[in-house]
Amino acid sequence: MSYSLFSHGGGLFLLRYFHVLAGIVWIGHLYYFNFVQGAFFAETDAATKSNAIQKLVPRALWWFRWGAMITMITGVLLYMGNGNYIPNNSPALTITLGMALGLVMWFNVWFVIWPNQKIVIQSATQVAQGGQALPTAAAAAAKAGLASRHNVLFSIPMLFFMLGAQHLGIAVNPEYNMGVFFGIFFAILGALEFNALKGKLGPLTTVKGVIHMGLFLTVVFYLMLEILTK
Ligand code: HEM
């Protein structure tokens, strides 16, 4: 008796299953930090905020960063398992855009948000124990918040393209000018990521603003797909 999961297709299915499960953990915590915790910290008293930073935030950051790591690893393995690498057809092109956004988000989690949040947690713990706040804590909190808010922006087109790979058939001319298409795509993504590392929140300051900008970015990338791949 053969079991469907114990086949190449079954293996890819399990990868896809754990990919989406880990993705829910990751993005779920990203939206919690940006849509819930931020507003609460702005309103609550200093003692409650300090307690939360010492005892709640580290727990949430553990699930957040390891959710991101498992999503990334299963995603890359899925990509390798699919074997459809040249972005001259709709599934390969769409998932390439989704993966570019996802990998930038993963980088921001592990190399910007987590290192800076560790400074914020350390400083709050030191103050609670009667010590001095770390002089870098305020800047670290701002850097983590900026990168995190940009991850919300990127998450909206990212998920559009993740699902689009198998469920949105774009009529792609295999001879389209990839240089122009990816030149524009990576110029936009690069400029936004530069702002995520060195810039300002601007229209992303409010939850409403980041959701609207995320939907707008999705429309821009979708129209690029429809217009520049013919
Ligand atoms: C580093 C980040 C990521 C990488 C490298 C990645 C990679 C991939 C790949 C290669 C696929 C398969 C596409 C195909 O079916 O041809 C995929 C599908 C998918 N990914 Fe991701 N992904 C990433 C992040 C995420 C995140 C954060 C989520 C959020 C929940 C997500 C949700 C999905 C979904 C829902 C699918 C489609 C499953 C289907 O159509 O059956 N991915 N991803």
Using one digit for the tens of pLDDT, what is the confidence trace for 37-90?
999 999 999 999 999 999 999 999 999 999 999 999 999 999 998 887 889 999
The predicted pLDDT at position 22 comes to: 98
Q: How confident is the model at residue 2 (pLDDT cuts 50, 70, 90)?
A: confident
In terms of pTM, does the model score above 0.85? Answer: yes
Query: What is the CA(37)–ligand 1 centre distance, in A?
Result: 26
Candidate from 19, 70, 73 with most ligand 1 atoms within 8 A of CB, to mutate: 19
Q: How confident is the model at residue 8 (pLDDT cuts 50, 70, 90)?
A: confident
Ligand 1: does its nearest atom lie under 6 Å from the Cβ of 91?
A: yes
Q: How confident is the model at residue 176 (pLDDT cuts 50, 70, 90)?
A: very high
Ligand 1: does its nearest atom lie under 6 Å from the Cβ of 103?
A: yes
Ligand 1: does its nearest atom lie under 6 Å from the Cβ of 67?
A: no
Query: What is the CA(16)–ligand 1 centre distance, in A?
Result: 7
The predicted pLDDT at position 81 comes to: 87
**CA neighbor of 162 nearest in space, from 10, 8, 26, 7:** 26
Ligand 1: does its nearest atom lie under 6 Å from the Cβ of 92?
A: no
Ligand 1: does its nearest atom lie under 6 Å from the Cβ of 68?
A: no
Residue closest via CA to ligand 1's atom 2 equals 102
The predicted pLDDT at position 43 comes to: 97
Tokens of 129: 């124990």
